[in-house]
Chains A and B, each alone.
Chain A
């Protein structure tokens, strides 16, 4: 297939996945900001976290001054002049889809086009009137719908593979960043104080819920979440759809099934990363230091993204 088409499909699904992940990020921060803060401030720090993770906090401070709940939320979700906002991600996804509307099914196109038409309506209404939780739900739901339309209608050929590649590269990156940020927030907190769940309990629970993995956690571990268990679940378990391991499995599978020799660097790197996760235990990760390990892996995923870009999407 055309490299330009592959690129548009890949970025379409990356942007859509990013929008979904941003909504998940916003959801967890917003609900935590409403909790008692144990004298740690007024929840603004919590609301600033999504901006920090996406690297848009400086931009916000420059343009909107001091932290302010409503302004931050709006900047993060609906600001058309913030290229990192959910609004702009959906716009970019729709724009990529428009460029390849002949290569995706009508169900997919109409779905993503309707999403775009709707968010413009929401932006006109304003986030406050629409409701933040409702908005996050809406973004997730639109993403689910699109994925369902994709899964249910598109031929299992190269277009499908590039769509999947975009989804899982983006998701792998986001899962890593979310865990890292949450871990940073905890600072020196230990997981349990006098047998009573500490703040970390709420933090990890909120993260699990944001990644729709709370039910799986409860079923597997039957206990309260802590750093070790949550990291193991979200990094190393192949059966959790948003875990790093699941993302790498899928990336490796998709890359291995692409035709041609162009992609060898990307294929090799994906296979290496997949093997590394498969044969790593959570103890090794924690021994290395969770933050260091996560930082390292964020770079590796970025390298893989670049390899895909140069192997398939920009070939002459």
Chain B
């Protein structure tokens, strides 16, 4: 089957795109041996710095490196401005959707989103009903996953509104590129990203009505797969990194245990799922959370970022309605495209999906991290058969989408430089205003032909550049 991929660096005729020309000249002038040496240096530095992640299901708790590719993903500034506006628009609409959902439910009454889609959803938290949040913000930090189809147009694959991760790699990758190849940054203007922690702290502070709230980062602990990022962000922001056991609730207020006694906490940037936050309110077996936290949250004495119950809006079964949300709340046309989605809970769409499994990507509505999905064109007959059974058993738990072509970017692999598929996750911060640092995290599927970019599935990362068009 002939499929055309959009390549970030080369156009269809094989010529270098304008915004890659400076890089391409540099690449041609740099001996391959030097590049290989710098790659080894990068590995060593990442290892030394302990910039690692832990794989779930690996009992050894081995700390692994996320493969870093030295060829950057570059986006011209004019193109970036569209992506930026599109992401901001989307996250604004999603925040309004969440506020509406937990209050008047106008969008349900208007018949745009079916009630059973949201109210029966696992991500919907009844405890949030009627609760007023400062600035009506739910998803203070969002990660929007974007891919490009064969013609180069951007599609939103999913909106991560719970605890999106990866921003530390965006920052560390840039630091590494500047260290290894400073000459590249002298040759062209790349928009800086290293003020992200600053914006994040600003966003977290503005999530509280207090003037100078005490902000902390809540981590499940150092065996969590993204512990590095929690430690990294708390350090960069200069705030405490706490675990559940460091916190306690007294008189509906939240305190942390310090060497000079109890100190009140006002804002929690939590990197812990809803279910683990409070053993009294959610999962009683959770050792990670703080007993009484939800009551304290409900009485307005502490802010959680992101809010409880955002999962209902990034659920894959709600995803098909985001375009309508944008029109409903903002009276605007969506700037970024949604991938056409078949909802398997609808019998007509299910039968279409079952008839075309070889061409489709099937995902669990609640899934993330690349676990529990089927990529039809890359799957074996046995895998397809297995998924068919699962689909028939629980159609409502799945959606299906056409297999996107996913753009490629030249990448260093064992045998020199070859194109590999990539995606893009910009991080959207919502506080007093909605902001994005230029770029985001580019993930790359290192296996030839693979479309799965998740680090848990062998994906790597690339530095992401937004370059001024004038410097092309």
Contact = CB atoms under 8 A, between A and B. Distances in A.
Contacts of B245: 4
Given A101-B231, A102-B232, A102-B241, A4 B257 contact: yes
Contacts of B217: 102
Contacts of A162: 259
Most chain A CB neighbours (cut-off 10 Å) among B231, B258, B261: B258
A13 to B, nearest CB: 15
B11 to A, nearest CB: 41
Given A98-B222, A103-B241, A3 B50 contact: no
Most chain A CB neighbours (cut-off 10 Å) among B47, B243, B257, B259: B259
Nearest to A315: B257
Interface string A106-124: 1001100110010000000
B470 interface: no
Interface string B205-244: 0000000000001000010000010111011000011110
Interface secondary structure of A, over-half rule: helix
A101 B50 contact: yes
Interface footprint category on B:
20 to 34
B116 to A, nearest CB: 43
Interface string B240-256: 11110110000000001
Contact of A2 (B48, B50, B235, B246): B246
Interface secondary structure of B, over-half rule: mixed
Given A103-B235, A262-B260, A4 B246 contact: yes
Contacts of B49: 106, 109-110, 113
Given A101-B231, A102-B235, A262 B48 contact: no
B171 to A, nearest CB: 12
Contact of A262 (B228, B241, B259): B259
Contacts of B50: 98, 101, 109-110, 113
Contacts of A262: 259-261
A193 interface: no
A85 interface: no
A117 to B, nearest CB: 7
A258 B260 CA distance: 9
A15 interface: no
Most chain A CB neighbours (cut-off 10 Å) among B47, B50, B232, B243: B50
Interface of A: 1-6, 98-103, 106, 109-110, 113-114, 117, 158, 162, 258-260, 262-263, 312-313, 315-316
22 contacts: A1-B240, A2-B256, A3-B246, A4-B243, A5-B241, A6-B259, A98-B222, A101-B50, A101-B235, A102-B241, A110-B49, A113-B48, A113-B49, A117-B47, A158-B259, A259-B259, A262-B259, A262-B260, A263-B259, A312-B259, A315-B257, A316-B257
Interface of B: 47-50, 217, 222, 228, 230-232, 234-235, 240-243, 245-246, 256-261
Closest 9 A/B residue pairs (Cβ)? A260-B260, A102-B235, A102-B231, A102-B234, A312-B259, A102-B241, A101-B231, A113-B50, A6-B259
